[in-house]
Amino acid sequence: MTQKDYARPIRLGMVGGGKGAFIGEVHRFAARLDGHHQLVAGALASTPEKSQASGAALGLAPDRIYDDFEQMAAQEADRPDGIEAVAIVTPNHMHFAPAKLFLEKGIHVICDKPLTSNLEDAKLLNDTAQKSNALFVLTHNYTAYPMIRQARDMVANGELGRIRLVQSEYLQDWLTEEADNKQASWRTDPKRSGAGGSIGDIGTHAFNLSCFVSGLEVEHLAADLQSFVPGRQVDDNAHIMLRFSDGARGTLWCSQVAPGNENGLRLRIYGEKGGLEWAQEDPNYLWYAPFSEPPRKITRNGPGAGEAAGRVSRIPPGHPEGYLEGFANIYSEAAAAIRAAQSGTKLDPAVHFPTVQDGLKGVQFIDACIRSSQNNSSWVDLA
Amino acid sequence: MTQKDYARPIRLGMVGGGKGAFIGEVHRFAARLDGHHQLVAGALASTPEKSQASGAALGLAPDRIYDDFEQMAAQEADRPDGIEAVAIVTPNHMHFAPAKLFLEKGIHVICDKPLTSNLEDAKLLNDTAQKSNALFVLTHNYTAYPMIRQARDMVANGELGRIRLVQSEYLQDWLTEEADNKQASWRTDPKRSGAGGSIGDIGTHAFNLSCFVSGLEVEHLAADLQSFVPGRQVDDNAHIMLRFSDGARGTLWCSQVAPGNENGLRLRIYGEKGGLEWAQEDPNYLWYAPFSEPPRKITRNGPGAGEAAGRVSRIPPGHPEGYLEGFANIYSEAAAAIRAAQSGTKLDPAVHFPTVQDGLKGVQFIDACIRSSQNNSSWVDLA
Amino acid sequence: MTQKDYARPIRLGMVGGGKGAFIGEVHRFAARLDGHHQLVAGALASTPEKSQASGAALGLAPDRIYDDFEQMAAQEADRPDGIEAVAIVTPNHMHFAPAKLFLEKGIHVICDKPLTSNLEDAKLLNDTAQKSNALFVLTHNYTAYPMIRQARDMVANGELGRIRLVQSEYLQDWLTEEADNKQASWRTDPKRSGAGGSIGDIGTHAFNLSCFVSGLEVEHLAADLQSFVPGRQVDDNAHIMLRFSDGARGTLWCSQVAPGNENGLRLRIYGEKGGLEWAQEDPNYLWYAPFSEPPRKITRNGPGAGEAAGRVSRIPPGHPEGYLEGFANIYSEAAAAIRAAQSGTKLDPAVHFPTVQDGLKGVQFIDACIRSSQNNSSWVDLA
Amino acid sequence: MTQKDYARPIRLGMVGGGKGAFIGEVHRFAARLDGHHQLVAGALASTPEKSQASGAALGLAPDRIYDDFEQMAAQEADRPDGIEAVAIVTPNHMHFAPAKLFLEKGIHVICDKPLTSNLEDAKLLNDTAQKSNALFVLTHNYTAYPMIRQARDMVANGELGRIRLVQSEYLQDWLTEEADNKQASWRTDPKRSGAGGSIGDIGTHAFNLSCFVSGLEVEHLAADLQSFVPGRQVDDNAHIMLRFSDGARGTLWCSQVAPGNENGLRLRIYGEKGGLEWAQEDPNYLWYAPFSEPPRKITRNGPGAGEAAGRVSRIPPGHPEGYLEGFANIYSEAAAAIRAAQSGTKLDPAVHFPTVQDGLKGVQFIDACIRSSQNNSSWVDLA
């Protein structure tokens, strides 16, 4: 169980996440579930009025509902009871500025993915984070599902032997037709989402997960991006061939135009000695097939699941944990790291969270996909 | 979405749920997730020392960590900022006394199931609750899974036609062998769990769910109870035939000795026009088979799912919600009811939570199973 | 692989199975698949004209298409190249007379289930078969699925420990409404199907399979039969509690009014050391859960599957075999037994086929279900 | 139902398929199941002795067991009761010579895939077939699964709208380690299998199926082939990006080194209006997701399945048909075509079977994959 010490929750602010937002609310659920964070301040929306209304609905004190993130950073940094961490849950193009500012103020940052909307910003933010004493946590939330931790652990322990294949896919259907809701609007607008469409929104998750579980780096890729819906300015489907370090190969397929798929993030890894399969929509199970033995269904907290999964699980097997629990694990890992940093104690090496470097790699992945696709799917380096 | 108004969380106390407890921690996750409750007081364990240690770990103020529930009831009832509701998460035989006392103090009660460890207590508690101004909420948490709400709604709307069959099962394997952990210990001790073993611990859930979704009452049952593990004093497996109101029939099978099953709660309902199937271990989906049409997979918040499911869902389809989210729905429904009661406003008729009467029926179910089984599985009335 | 010696197929006749019949055609597929039988004669329908037309379509020689089974028995018994075996595929009430006659003529009988339409006939036929030199093979085809053989073998080898629970169900939906096709007509007519409806048509399969795999006998049962469709004269749903030899318990649920179920025959067996699950609609897999280990998926001919399954499999794992292959296994087992009988050699002890005694037990099961249900679900003996 | 007229089976010969062969036995099961063919002659093995032994075990007349295919072609062509069709089931490099010879003799050819072991042979054989009066049937057996016919029909009827994505995979694990059995030996030997390993053995199936169901042609592909097992001379895994006619895109992944996969052939097709998913290991079901409606499970012969599936089905839904039934459908389609050719009648337009042109395309696919992979995965034309 991740939760250890509830004695004093971490004081949290939020940038973005006003009424009608999706991911902001997810971050709040995640922050609340384990009790390690308490939301106390926010610059929640694009106008002072909307921000006030959203903050009031969340029970924030009126004087800690801010017009914009600059105001929040300035005032909270001066308060003795100011926020210790900030969650940044704005559209992609608005991650960079607040992240940079809060890092510079020494306030820990928990930021949604992808890191930024372009590679230049990503590099700058990485530089800023390296120089800052504050932590930077990127919410590649799928890395915190217990059975993903289990899978990573099994790979690291050599249970699959040398890895040959890393196959991921992330399939959705919500952009099958032209959509005009708030979510679709900014995610298909290159000004706000960046040059990547599906590759940024969901492809980066699959990319990050492939590397996280396999322990390998993508060295080269060849991509074929498509925009199937007429008038769409970003990709809504992508086929990507991958060459990993250490000779492994793989593919990544992401799509937002595959009817019948809701959030079909699936990972399959095969090594010389065995295979693993996991699906986000059924996340409490990990299929493990040692070569020439019957496949086994490993359940979260059940027989065969180890400590790497157990420490981020809350309840017995057969009682499903889901997306919010996985997301909450990131927040609880962040809390553990923040507390260690504050107290100057050594962080438990079992604690994992995606970093700014992971975020930079994600933006490099987006950039590489676009470069390759524009060059007739030729192999390109990731760096 | 259930969460509406976070402006002031309800002040919550807890009886039971100290270190090492399972269900107490579940209640705390559930109370935190949506932000409608804040745990501020507790009589958490069987000794003052354990209670203090548990309360401190939870960040409770020292003066609100009590030696026992009587002390908590007395002192909290006198505080201007005293608890508004109490969660009772003790073993079965210790539900009755605190529940009765808090109801008498006018403090709302959220109590784990089964209601009590014997029928006499259940009837008394029902009487007490009827006379109290305080609400009584029983955490038959499975009723709050979104797709269970969806199923109930579809049955009520006549989409299955007249119901013929209601089949439920709840299968576990953790008591396959003699176990000596804390959970197993009290759950197989008739002094603490009551006369029912598997029928009380998990059978009541299946029973409650069968009635909740079908909208029918069980009128008669015939039961064959078994204790397979040598020396076990309560049933660890039960086969029960059911006769419902309105001519429907069904069976209920609960087991704690079925290897390979973790929490296999499954409900299948068939009517003149169609069938529904749902499984707790895969709770985001409801299978709907209109007779002579292809079966359809209805997903939480997806196409085909209606408002009854949507109002207790938090996130988009394909991102699984699980056990804690379902349990949290009970707490959020309770919060809505408590706030309506406090403000004297009319409660939204969409709000559902299991009541003390549901609890009484559950204890009657346990009692009837034992009577029937002792009488060679003859049909018995439930009342 | 079952097929060993194709040098000379067994000469086969058929009673019933004319145009429009379902099960007769299944028997023919089954007889052809492995090449051990050749259909050469038939009394296929209720009139000489229909029989001739059906036989011609099957390529039978005109002089071996008979008006009725008596004529076929008389003439074929006299031919030097007469049939060596006969398949009886008529409605239930017409199994007895031809089966008895062919047995008396020394011609091997392969008969569809249930054995007869009443208990008296079943006993007489059993007596006849015991006295005959000819073999009697009952096509409880599900016993010949490879993974059922695997399951039986694992139980017999003690891999589950002492058996505690044997749970079976066979669910269909095709009689949800009043039906007027040929199949529904005779199967719901007690004059032709016998007193049992769903219990005879499908319940006997579940009953037979429960005993076959567990190696146990049903000693007592308590049944609650229903006829949900108005005007139906036989049961279309049944709930049955079972007490097996050696202290095992179980239930059997069969239904023909469960929308969304096609041929949902499912068997679950639990012992002190582990559990097994199998489903007819997905027959190439057997789930094996050793207690306190991860469940394993054993595939036909795959790792973990043994010789008991392998000898009745034809192709590699991952290439599904189905219903006809299972049915064909009965025919190939019958061919092996017939050839051993003809040559006076010892039959391979691995060969299994359901016998007339199994058929008698099935009719006793039907009889016991009706007796119990008429006596308010009291426990009755099977004999 | 495919079986119509059993009056006289087609006389069939076989080249290859002696003892120990896999696919030859599959062809014999397929030829027997529906009764449209009778095996009467064979050149079954590489030596006269082995051929005689294999033929005798199959019950062939001694004078129709031949030393080699040339002898068989010569003698059978001269017999008044000579074979009407020949099944060629040798390793890939031995398809060309017998196929060419029998076509030239006017004997219908049923040939295993891939068509030949090199492109030159494929083109020559195509030319020969075009000039011959005899039919050429390639056993891309997966095209004959009922739900594949259903899928093709739905695509052709526009139920998915314009097709955007065609994704296929065929995953096995049997070559994860160096294997030394007969099957592995020739399939990994470029002299016998041709230059393609996994792409020829299983990739061609996925390729053929993608085109068959979508009704589209692959115009360009970019491939990354791997040989993971040290010393292996052919690919054992391949990642292929596809550009289809009419703007559709797709990927094809085939692998023989993916532990836990037996015959994981899976097809997913998405169009503007909906999606379809099908898996060979669970072939009786087709998942159909109309955009913005709940996904539907269409079952073979069940509600929602049409005549295209029904005419190649034998038994009711819920009774699984499998690999041999699908393979037998090719033989029955071939029989229908042969009989139409023999009688000069018009062939039912519903009859489908893969042709020599399909075979040529498959060999072009292999060739293109190798060319692309050797050229650093550049896009290449298929022709």
Please judge whether D302 and B288 are an interchain contact, meaning their C-beta atoms are less than 8 angstroms apart: no
Q: Which residues of D touch C59 (CB under 8 A)?
A: 6-9, 35
Alpha carbon of D182: minimum distance to chain C alpha carbons (Å):
14
Cα(C116)–Cα(C366) distance, rounded to whole angstroms? Answer: 11
Q: Tell whether A200 and A56 lie within a shared domain.
A: no
Alpha carbon of C212: minimum distance to chain A alpha carbons (Å):
24
What's the mean per-residue pLDDT of chain B?
95
> Residue A173: pLDDT above 80?
yes
Expressed in angstroms, the distance from the first to the final Cα of chain D is 37
pLDDT digits 0-9 by tens, D249-270: 999 999 999 999 999 999 999 9
In a mutational test of the B interface, the residue from C175, C237, C239, C254 whose CB has the highest number of chain B CBs within 10 Å is C239
Cα(B43)–Cα(B26) distance, rounded to whole angstroms? Answer: 16
Q: Tell whether B168 and B92 lie within a shared domain.
A: no
- Band of the pLDDT at B1, cuts 50, 70, 90? very low
Q: Give the residue on B whose Cα is nearest the Cα of C253.
A: B251
Alpha carbon of B312: minimum distance to chain C alpha carbons (Å):
27
Q: What is the DSSP string of B281-343?
A: TSTTEEEEEETTS--EEEETTSTT--HHHHTT--S-TTS---HHHHHHHHHHHHHHHHHHHHH
Locus of tokens 């492995």:
C34
pLDDT digits 0-9 by tens, A100-115: 999 999 999 999 999 9
Please judge whether A8 and B59 are an interchain contact, meaning their C-beta atoms are less than 8 angstroms apart: yes
So what's the pLDDT on residue C2? 37
Q: Which residues of B touch A25 (CB under 8 A)?
A: 314
Expressed in angstroms, the distance from the first to the final Cα of chain B is 37
Residue B325 amino acid letter: E
Closest CA relative to residue D8, chosen from D354, D346, D338: D338
Q: Does any domain span residue B243?
A: yes
- Please, are residues C76 and C41 in contact by the beta-carbon 8 Å criterion? yes
Q: Give the residue on A whose Cα is nearest the Cα of C305.
A: A294
- Band of the pLDDT at D179, cuts 50, 70, 90? confident
Q: Does any domain span residue C318?
A: no
So what's the pLDDT on residue B118? 95
Alpha carbon of C348: minimum distance to chain A alpha carbons (Å):
29
Cα(C285)–Cα(C322) distance, rounded to whole angstroms? Answer: 11
Alpha carbon of C252: minimum distance to chain D alpha carbons (Å):
19
Q: How far is CA D162 from CA A236, B333, D157, D218, D289, in A?
A: 16, 46, 11, 16, 15
| Percent with pLDDT over 70 in chain A | 98
Q: Give the residue on D whose Cα is nearest the Cα of C37.
A: D32
Q: Tell whether D343 and D296 lie within a shared domain.
A: no
> Residue B215: pLDDT above 90?
yes
In a mutational test of the D interface, the residue from C33, C139, C171, C174 whose CB has the highest number of chain D CBs within 10 Å is C33
In a mutational test of the C interface, the residue from A154, A273, A293, A300 whose CB has the highest number of chain C CBs within 10 Å is A293
Backbone angles phi, psi at D39, to 5 degrees: -75, 120
How far from chain centre, in Å, is Cα A43?
21
Please judge whether B237 and C164 are an interchain contact, meaning their C-beta atoms are less than 8 angstroms apart: yes
Q: Tell whether A47 and A66 lie within a shared domain.
A: yes
pLDDT digits 0-9 by tens, B313-360: 999 999 999 999 999 999 999 999 999 999 999 999 999 999 999 999
- Please, are residues C188 and C175 in contact by the beta-carbon 8 Å criterion? yes
Which residues of chain C fall below pLDDT 50?
1-5
Residues sharing a CB contact under 8 Å with residue C204, sequence separation 6 or more, in sequence order: C113, C114, C140, C196, C362, C365, C366
Alpha carbon of D318: minimum distance to chain B alpha carbons (Å):
13
Residue C108 amino acid letter: H
Q: Which residues of B touch D304 (CB under 8 A)?
A: 293-294
Q: Which residues of C touch D261 (CB under 8 A)?
A: 318
- Please, are residues C270 and B259 in contact by the beta-carbon 8 Å criterion? yes
Alpha carbon of B83: minimum distance to chain C alpha carbons (Å):
43
DSSP state of A347: P
**How are strands ordered across the β-sheet holding D85-88?**
D37-43, D10-15, D85-88, D108-111, D136-138
In a mutational test of the B interface, the residue from A1, A176, A262 whose CB has the highest number of chain B CBs within 10 Å is A262
Size of chain C in residues: 383
Of the candidates B292, B293, B304, which has its C-beta nearest D293's C-beta? B304
**How are strands ordered across the β-sheet holding B37-43?**
B37-43, B10-15, B85-88, B108-111, B136-138
Q: Which residues of C touch A298 (CB under 8 A)?
A: 294
Q: Tell whether A137 and A148 lie within a shared domain.
A: no
> Residue A82: pLDDT above 90?
yes
Cα(A254)–Cα(A267) distance, rounded to whole angstroms? Answer: 12
Please judge whether C297 and A295 are an interchain contact, meaning their C-beta atoms are less than 8 angstroms apart: yes
Cα(A1)–Cα(A271) distance, rounded to whole angstroms? Answer: 30
Q: Tell whether D187 and D58 lie within a shared domain.
A: no
Q: Which of B182-196, C143-157, D287-301 has the lowest mean pLDDT?
A: B182-196
Alpha carbon of B60: minimum distance to chain C alpha carbons (Å):
38
Q: Does any domain span residue A30?
A: yes
**Torsion angle of C-alpha atoms D306, D311, D314, D315, degrees rounded to 10:** 20
Size of interface A-B (CB pairs under 8 A): 118
Q: Does any domain span residue B313?
A: no
Cα(D99)–Cα(D363) distance, rounded to whole angstroms? Answer: 16
Q: Tell whether C56 and C200 lie within a shared domain.
A: no
Cα(B234)–Cα(B194) distance, rounded to whole angstroms? Answer: 9
Q: Which residues of A touch D261 (CB under 8 A)?
A: 275, 289
pLDDT digits 0-9 by tens, A253-284: 999 999 999 999 999 999 999 999 999 999 99
So what's the pLDDT on residue A33? 97
Put residue D147 in one of left, alpha, beta given phi > 0 → left and psi -120 to 50 → alpha.
alpha
Strands D163-171 and D264-271: antiparallel
What are the start-end ranges of the E strands in chain D?
10-15, 37-43, 85-88, 108-111, 136-138, 163-171, 218-226, 237-244, 249-255, 264-271, 274-279, 285-290, 296-299, 380-381
Q: Does any domain span residue C264?
A: yes
- Please, are residues D250 and D269 in contact by the beta-carbon 8 Å criterion? no
> Residue A4: pLDDT above 70?
no
| H/E run at residue D309 | helix D307-310
Neighbours of chain A (3+ CB pairs under 8 A): B, C, D
Please judge whether D289 and A173 are an interchain contact, meaning their C-beta atoms are less than 8 angstroms apart: yes
Q: Does any domain span residue A227?
A: yes
Residues sharing a CB contact under 8 Å with residue A228, sequence separation 6 or more, in sequence order: A236, A237, A257, D164, D272
Q: Tell whether A36 and A93 lie within a shared domain.
A: yes
Strands C85-88 and C10-15: parallel
Cα(A114)–Cα(A23) distance, rounded to whole angstroms? Answer: 13
| H/E run at residue C221 | strand C218-226
Q: Tell whether C82 and C20 lie within a shared domain.
A: yes
Size of interface B-D (CB pairs under 8 A): 30
| Percent with pLDDT over 90 in chain D | 92
Q: Where are the alpha helices (DSSP H) in D34-145?
A: 48-57, 69-78, 96-104, 119-131
SS3 D265: strand
Cα(B3)–Cα(C40) distance, rounded to whole angstroms? Answer: 74
Q: Which residues of B touch C (CB under 8 A)?
A: 164-165, 167, 173, 176-177, 222, 224, 226, 228, 237, 239, 241, 243, 249-251, 253, 255, 257-261, 268, 270-275, 277, 287-291, 295, 376-379
Residues sharing a CB contact under 8 Å with residue B169, sequence separation 6 or more, in sequence order: B206, B252, B253, B254, B255, B264, B265, B266
Closest CA relative to residue B88, chosen from B16, B25, B19: B16
Please judge whether B303 and D296 are an interchain contact, meaning their C-beta atoms are less than 8 angstroms apart: no
- Please, are residues D355 and D138 in contact by the beta-carbon 8 Å criterion? yes
Q: Does any domain span residue B304?
A: no
Q: Give the structural domain span for D245.
A: 144-314+360-381
- Band of the pLDDT at A6, cuts 50, 70, 90? low
Q: Which residues of B touch A5 (CB under 8 A)?
A: 57
Q: Give the residue on B whose Cα is nearest the Cα of C249.
A: B226
Of the candidates B237, B243, B275, which has its C-beta nearest C165's C-beta? B237
Cα(D286)–Cα(B331) distance, rounded to whole angstroms? Answer: 40
| Percent with pLDDT over 90 in chain A | 92
Alpha carbon of C160: minimum distance to chain B alpha carbons (Å):
9
Please judge whether A304 and C293 are an interchain contact, meaning their C-beta atoms are less than 8 angstroms apart: yes
Greater confidence (C65 vs A383) lies with C65
Q: Which of A197-201, A231-235, C4-8, D116-120 has the lowest mean pLDDT?
A: C4-8
Closest CA relative to residue D99, chosen from D132, D59, D67: D132
CATH number at residue D262: 3.30.360.10
Q: Which residues of A touch D164 (CB under 8 A)?
A: 226, 228, 237, 257
Q: How far is CA B171 from CA B201, B259, D25, in A?
A: 11, 9, 44
> Residue B5: pLDDT above 60?
no
Please judge whether A165 and D237 are an interchain contact, meaning their C-beta atoms are less than 8 angstroms apart: yes
> Residue B277 class from Cβ within 10 Å (0-12 exposed, 13-18 middle, 19+ buried)?
buried
How far from chain centre, in Å, is Cα B213?
14
Cα(D237)–Cα(D232) distance, rounded to whole angstroms? Answer: 11
Q: Tell whether A179 and A160 lie within a shared domain.
A: yes
* Number of domains chain C contains: 2
Cα(B258)–Cα(C295) distance, rounded to whole angstroms? Answer: 12
Residues sharing a CB contact under 8 Å with residue D344, sequence separation 6 or more, in sequence order: none
Size of interface B-C (CB pairs under 8 A): 119
Closest CA relative to residue B134, chosen from B84, B64, B82, B68: B84
CB atoms within 10 A of CB D374: 12
Closest CA relative to residue B112, chosen from B289, B362, B348: B362
So what's the pLDDT on residue D7? 61
Cα(C44)–Cα(C56) distance, rounded to whole angstroms? Answer: 11
> Residue D1: pLDDT above 70?
no
Q: What is the mean pLDDT of residues B56-78?
A: 96
Q: Does any domain span residue B331?
A: no
Q: Tell whether C106 and C159 lie within a shared domain.
A: no
Q: Tell whether B24 and B151 lie within a shared domain.
A: no
SS3 D349: coil
CATH number at residue A112: 3.40.50.720
